[in-house]
Amino acid sequence: MNWLWLLIQGLLCCIDETMLNGLHVSSIMSRGLSDEIYNSINSNDTAYGLWKDLERQMRGAEVGQRIQQTYTVWNYMAFYAKPNEKIEDSYLPFNKLINEMNRQKLKRTNIELNIQFLQSLQPKWKHFSIAIIQNQDLNKLDINNSFDLLKRNQKEVNEIRDGFVSQLHSFWYLSCPRTVQTSCRREMRNWMKKAFVVVREAAKRKLSVGNTTIFCISTLTFDTMSRRQCAGSKILVLLE
């Protein structure tokens, strides 16, 4: 019987020691963990239970971090400037994506960031983007420098846009019969007020349907096809 009593006493001592170790470990953890994590595991009485719960918490946090990283990288790769968006409105969201990637330790090299940004811009910037890629050292050029270089060409981009719209105006006016040119001019003026857009290509295609001539013009802003009939004429202009 003596040996049994000694065994029970030994077990009780081990239990007491384990509980004391748990309290000691809990005290140490409270200093190094955030209140949110510590409050979710401090109900354990043993050191083993504390460590196991902490391990589960960290694994869950790791999975969440990987999901967030995947989402951030996807947004970075899918970034594309919106039609008619100013260069500043494209630059600021892209800069936020870069900051988020750096925060999550997903840093990219300067050349990767520059290529991604320049290729995401609207076609009107293509000529200037190619010039930067060919003439600048993208390894040393950061995204802020690329933005500054593009901003210097804002005037030229505006002139390109205005030139396209001017060509469209001339095409529309000359396409109408003389008897309705005044009507066409008025219609064009009203249309330009509502849809001042950059024309992607102007009147490259001309189809005939009966006695009606159809001019097809592609723009950047019209999602659905609309038809505009010049009063008294046989000309139907389609905006795709």
Q: Which of 135-144, 157-166, 229-238 has the highest mean pLDDT?
A: 135-144
11 CB-near residues (< 8 Å, 6+ apart): none
Q: Looking at the structure, do residues 87 and 144 belong to the same domain, yes or no?
A: yes
Residue 20, in any domain of the structure: no
pLDDT digits (tens, 9 = 90+) for 22-41: 454 455 555 555 566 666 56
In the chain, the number of structural domains is 2
Return the higher-pLDDT residue of 204 and 104: 104
CA 39 to CA 33: how far, in whole Å? Answer: 9
Amino acid 163: pLDDT: 47
The last residue of one of the domains, among 152, 176, 199, is 152
Strand order in the sheet with 212-219: 199-209, 212-219, 235-239, 226-229
The last residue of one of the domains, among 152, 173, 192, is 152
Q: Looking at the structure, do residues 206 and 139 belong to the same domain, yes or no?
A: no
Find the domain containing 220 and state its range.
162-239
Q: Are 61 and 33 in contact (CB under 8 A)?
A: no
Strands (DSSP E) found in 48-106: none
This prediction's pTM: 0.45
pLDDT digits (tens, 9 = 90+) for 38-59: 665 666 666 667 667 767 766 6
Give 3-state DSSP helix, strand, coil % of the chain, rounded to 5: 65, 10, 25
Amino acid 146: pLDDT: 87
Q: Looking at the structure, do residues 173 and 204 belong to the same domain, yes or no?
A: yes
Residue 123, in any domain of the structure: yes
Q: Looking at the structure, do residues 139 and 199 belong to the same domain, yes or no?
A: no
CA 194 to CA 153: how far, in whole Å? Answer: 27
40 three-class SS: coil
Return the higher-pLDDT residue of 117 and 183: 117
Residue 58, in any domain of the structure: no
Percentage of the chain with pLDDT > 90? 1
Residue 196, in any domain of the structure: yes
Q: What average pLDDT does the segment 135-141 reach?
A: 85
The last residue of one of the domains, among 125, 152, 179, is 152
- pLDDT greater than 80 at residue 134: yes
CA dihedral 238, 159, 120, 96 (to 10 degrees): -120
- pLDDT greater than 60 at residue 136: yes
113: amino acid identity, one letter: L
pLDDT digits (tens, 9 = 90+) for 56-91: 766 666 667 778 888 888 888 888 888 778 888 888
Residue 43, in any domain of the structure: no
- pLDDT greater than 60 at residue 139: yes
